[in-house]
Structure 1
Amino acid sequence: MTEYGRGRGSEPWHPEDPLYGDGGWGGQQARTGQQSPYGGQPQHCPEQPQPQQQPQYGDWGTGGQPAYGPQQYPPQYDQQQYAGQTQQPYPQQQYDTGNWPTGAQPQLSYTGDPTDPYPQQAAAFGGEQPDLYGTPDAYPPPEPPGRRRAEPEPGADWDPGPDQGEHAFFSGEGENDDEPGERRGRGERRGRGGKGKRSRNGCACLVVALVFGGGLAGVTYFGYQFYQDRFGAAPDYAGEGTDEQVTVEIPKGAAGAEIGRRLKAAGVVKSVDAFVAAQSQNPDGESIQAGAYLLNKQMSAKSAVEMMLDPKSQNNVMVTPGQRNVAVYRAIDEKLGLESGTTEDVAEKQYKSLGLPSWARNSTDAQVKDPLEGFLFPGTYPAAKGMKPEAVLKEMITQANRQYGQYDLDAQAKTLNLDNPMQVITVASLVQAEGKTEDDFRRMAEVVYNRLSPDNTETYQLLQFDSTFNYLKGESNINISEDEINSNQDPYNTYTQKGLPPGPIGNPGAEALKAALNPTDDGWMYFVATDGLNKTEFARTHDEFLDLKDKFNESAGN
């Protein structure tokens, strides 16, 4: 047995091996330099005809492998036996046990094997094989008609289909192209081409273009608005506005932005930012006070700030500490353009419905001249034409309730040996009327409580305040004759009536109220305005009082 063509793999060579010879795989690979399927080494096969060998039966060489007998087939080699190369399994052929021919070998007929997946494949590799592409015999097997992709028809637009990147929206899928109950293959549906699909695609593109264009326009608009809001000049009117005027109420504590919002809502300025900018640019802009302002509509922000700083535009009523109600009523009538006495009449008839605290309504003495006295708390309040007087009064009383509500006046009254909270407010009104400075207020409060004391042997519970007599007279006079005082028996005359007057004699401020709740404890019993105006001096005894009285007479030229 010759050694020609024997590989160096794990399998021995056999003369009946169909790969040996010019027409087999061994010959082809030897000539082309390709690797042998048996051992990975090229086959060395001489091109001269070889002497015919008689078939040998039995073991091969040293491998101990049995030779193939007559009519036997070589073993089916799987892919792992080919050193990693992917090869199709040997076609099963019938082999002649006769001499091995040299040269080109004829194609052997294939009897067919029901387990062979390639029944029509050629018997030997390297010969002419028919082109099965496009036929039912092609490998891999063609898809069934329902799944087969049709080739584009000549002249028709190419349609990649949803699985090639086209969205179902553009492909028209989902529309009623097929009759109910029918399923058509992709090729059958897409092979139609035609104008229907192009029309749908065109409409879809138009819709996308419109949506994209609208979105771009929206982004542009809002981008411009964002730029204007952040970096552009704030919208503003020009000039001093129209002839139409409106009243704008500015609450206490309102800052620039809040004022701007109220002005914009009333139609005075065009934007809040414009007003805030104008206020910050005006040196006096921060001095705008709470109250009501009569302003023109559609004013520039700069003009609005300037007009609000002008006292003529301020429609407010200011209640000063110690001011009596009769003066407040007159001011309200004037601001609202009402007939004189209108607000006073409302206060007299409607005082129970204007928001007084319960302790004030319940403790009101029949001798009280004005139930609202002491409850129009000092401050600035809006009062413009068109407003009702009761609305202005309610705002003042609301502020008084807010201030008085900070203290437990029931408990404070008991601590100070007073009958009720109403007397606390009355004491505060006396302190406010008689005192000249904040330092005077606490000492003045002590004088009141010491004179009200049952142990008072200096004045015997008589307050003897000129302020109470002036209140009942509706005047402010420090030069009151003794005859006039001693002849008047009015409940508010503290020269002739012991104890406190029936009610407050004015509207005390916050400092006077605090002093009434926290008097000094130095034994003060007397006081005299020695200069007749602002300087008040205090004394503990009657003799000290007489010295102060002489000092007053000297300053007054008496």
Structure 2
Amino acid sequence: MTEYGRGAGSEPWHPEDPLYGDQGWGAQQAASGQAPHGGQQQPQHQQQYYPQDQYAPQPQEQYVPQPQGQYVPQPHYAEQPQQGYPQQQYPAQPHYPDQYAQQPQQPQQPQQYNGGWDTGQQAAMPYAGHQADPYNDGYAGESHDFYGTPEAYPPPQPPGQRQAPVVPEVPEQGQEWDAEAEPEEEKHPFFTGVGDSEGEDDDPRESRRGGRDRRGKTKNKKKGKSGRACLVLTVIFAVGVGGVGYVGYEFYQSKFGAAPDYVGEGSGETVTVEVPTGAGGSEIGQLLKQAGVVKSIDAFVQAQNDNPKGKTIQAGAYTLKKGMSAANAVALMLNPSSRNALIIPEGKRDAWVYEQIDKRLGVPDGTTKNVAFKSADSLGLPDWAKGHKNVKDPLEGFLYPASYPVAKGMKPEDVLRKMVNRASSEYGKQDLAAEARKLGLEGPWQVITVASLVQAEGKTHDDFTKMAEVVYNRLKPDNTQTNQKLQFDSAYNYLTGKSNIKIGLAEINSNPDPYNTYKWRGLTPGPIGNPGSEALAAALSPTNEGWMYFVATDGEQKTEFAKTLPEFNKLKEKFNGQSGQ
């Protein structure tokens, strides 16, 4: 029998404790001296009580096995204490036999319970004897001592509340009992796999052995659910690792890997890409990627850097193929055949520009001119360029000389709007209104008109500045040599739409068109062409040397100037002599 005493282990069980001994659960077990089965009373042992004397030797019970399974207590006396000192009682160490091994029963001695429950008084509490087990199913000769098996620690509980016993290690003599030696089993449902209803003993009538079997099955269920929980954690971990790996790979590719690129010269489908003025490699690459020409911007930038002429790609419209490698796209853009850019030379009239746009867009002749005349005010003209009388073309002077993308699929109004916006931007870089007042002109509109005349008559930069002075000198009120008439052949050619060098006096004098500067004083109603930046600069900064006349002595390339009429006549003779007249 196991002895319980005060020590480092568990607290002793007092007879007053309702769970002490086997007093029955809910009237299921017969009380002492009653017959548990059918009124047949089992013999039981009598308790022997001895008066409490902490200095006297105490008798102890000794159980002698009997053939009929009964025990007869035999009193004997413990060793006498030394004289003059009380005998100190030490609780015996509990012994836990192997619950699965078959061992013969050994005589046991009931250990003396030292220490009171509440008062601290020493009292002898021998075991009340061996009682019959109501769960023994009535087998003769078998009687179980609930305190003689491992399942008695902790003391037995009703069958519906029993659990598998935990057998702690027995410390050796002289060692202290470690109450925290055994870790508590994890009880969280996530790890145990036990739900709200699982793990409960549904049958309180189940025997202890059956309970162990049931607990074994529950343990298997716990293991199964724990395995599933671990599998879920493993899957989550694997997904997380995969996601991190993918992000890392993308980061590596973006920083150190080769840029995505197509292979080959592309498909048969062609597209037109417009490259604006001043666009760099990244901007061009983005336009090509959006059009489906190249696969990535980085690939194009790299190919442009690898090509020695890659940085020379100019603004304009390019006809390219979809799905091209970046290297092939750069090479094709450097080939003039791919460019759909319309280059407007300085001094060209609007009529020539309209014809070129119609050809490149593949539209009928006159389409662009009709759009220009009908939608002139909505194409971006500044306010000072609107509403002038007798103007032959509302956009003349505003189709600024430059390179423009013009290709099939584009609309005429979009092309014209780009040209007008470019002219407005260039003209807006200077205060033309203030400059006009300095030059005695009525406003920016007349400044552009003068620049167009200078552009049409001059050939070089020196020509432009001298030609600008000729214009201003002839417009002066005190001009008695030409009587404020410009007398420019270029203005007359504009109204006729021709470019003749020789014009008969009879024809000139008979034509009443407002652009005929031989007949009318002052400037033409509007520009006669599209001046460039040099002609505009010359119109704003003319020479001040007294130039009044000029003659293209070679007919085309060389222009000579004169200040007086006699000088002019000599120049005319020179021109006529060279021309054979």
TM-score bracket for the superposition, by shorter chain length? 0.5 to 0.7
1:495 to 518, 541, 548: 518
Report the CA distance between 1:267 and its aligned residue: 0.9
2:561 partner amino acid: F
2:448 to 421, 425, 443: 425
Which residue of 2 is the match for residue 479 of structure 1? 502
Mapped contact 1:316–1:335 kept (Cα < 8 A): no
Relative to the length of structure 2, the TM-score reads 0.64
1:345 partner amino acid: N
Report the CA distance between 1:330 and its aligned residue: 0.4
Asked whether 1:268 is paired with 2:293, we answer yes
**In the aligned structure 2, how far is the partner of 1:422 from the partner of 1:500?**
11
Asked whether 1:463 is paired with 2:486, we answer yes
Relative to the length of structure 1, the TM-score reads 0.66
1:512 to 535, 544, 555: 535
Identity of aligned residues (%): 56
1:512 partner amino acid: A
Which residue of 2 is the match for residue 301 of structure 1? 326
Report the CA distance between 1:325 and its aligned residue: 0.4
**In the aligned structure 2, how far is the partner of 1:174 from the partner of 1:510?**
89
**In the aligned structure 2, how far is the partner of 1:548 from the partner of 1:174?**
118
**In the aligned structure 2, how far is the partner of 1:410 from the partner of 1:511?**
19
More deviation, 346-355/333-342: 346-355
Pick closer, same or farther for the CA change 1:133–1:171 going to 2, 3 Å: farther
**In the aligned structure 2, how far is the partner of 1:214 from the partner of 1:160?**
34
Q: Deviations over 1:26-49 (max 9, x none)?
A: xxxxxxxxxxxxxxxxxxxxxxxx
Look up the SS of the partner of 1:206 in the other structure: helix
Pick closer, same or farther for the CA change 1:243–1:466 going to 2, 3 Å: same
**In the aligned structure 2, how far is the partner of 1:169 from the partner of 1:550?**
118
**In the aligned structure 1, how far is the partner of 2:539 from the partner of 2:187?**
86
Mapped contact 2:475–2:484 kept (Cα < 8 A): yes
Report the CA distance between 1:455 and its aligned residue: 1.7
Mapped contact 2:396–2:527 kept (Cα < 8 A): yes
Mapped contact 1:161–1:171 kept (Cα < 8 A): no
Which residue of 1 is the match for residue 475 of structure 2? 452
Mapped contact 2:194–2:222 kept (Cα < 8 A): no
Report the CA distance between 1:280 and its aligned residue: 2.4
**In the aligned structure 2, how far is the partner of 1:334 from the partner of 1:253?**
26
1:383 to 380, 400, 406: 406
**In the aligned structure 2, how far is the partner of 1:407 from the partner of 1:175?**
86
Asked whether 1:317 is paired with 2:295, we answer no
**In the aligned structure 1, how far is the partner of 2:165 from the partner of 2:553?**
120
Look up the SS of the partner of 1:377 in the other structure: coil
1:343 to 368, 372, 377: 368
Report the CA distance between 1:346 and its aligned residue: 1.5
1:508 partner amino acid: P
Report the CA distance between 1:331 and its aligned residue: 0.4
Mapped contact 2:508–2:516 kept (Cα < 8 A): yes
Report the CA distance between 1:269 and its aligned residue: 1.4
Pick closer, same or farther for the CA change 1:453–1:136 going to 2, 3 Å: farther
Asked whether 1:531 is paired with 2:509, we answer no
Gaps of 5+ in 1: 1-102, 110-121, 123-127, 138-149, 180-190
Report the CA distance between 1:504 and its aligned residue: 0.4
Report the CA distance between 1:108 and its aligned residue: 4.2
Which residue of 2 is the match for residue 357 of structure 1? 382
Pick closer, same or farther for the CA change 1:217–1:537 going to 2, 3 Å: same
Pick closer, same or farther for the CA change 1:173–1:479 going to 2, 3 Å: same
Gaps of 5+ in 2: 1-80, 96-112, 116-162, 169-180, 200-214
Pick closer, same or farther for the CA change 1:483–1:161 going to 2, 3 Å: farther
**In the aligned structure 2, how far is the partner of 1:361 from the partner of 1:284?**
44
Report the CA distance between 1:435 and its aligned residue: 1.6
**In the aligned structure 2, how far is the partner of 1:418 from the partner of 1:169?**
96
Look up the SS of the partner of 2:271 in the other structure: strand
Which residue of 2 is the match for residue 406 of structure 1? 429
2:259 to 224, 234, 241: 234
Cα root mean square deviation, aligned: 3.5
**In the aligned structure 1, how far is the partner of 2:363 from the partner of 2:114?**
109
Which residue of 2 is the match for residue 256 of structure 1? 281
Pick closer, same or farther for the CA change 1:399–1:161 going to 2, 3 Å: farther
Report the CA distance between 1:472 and its aligned residue: 1.0
**In the aligned structure 1, how far is the partner of 2:346 from the partner of 2:114?**
112
Mapped contact 2:514–2:520 kept (Cα < 8 A): yes
Report the CA distance between 1:105 and its aligned residue: 5.9
**In the aligned structure 1, how far is the partner of 2:194 from the partner of 2:425?**
72
Pick closer, same or farther for the CA change 1:194–1:526 going to 2, 3 Å: same
Report the CA distance between 1:169 and its aligned residue: 8.7
1:215 to 231, 240, 251: 240
2:277 partner amino acid: K
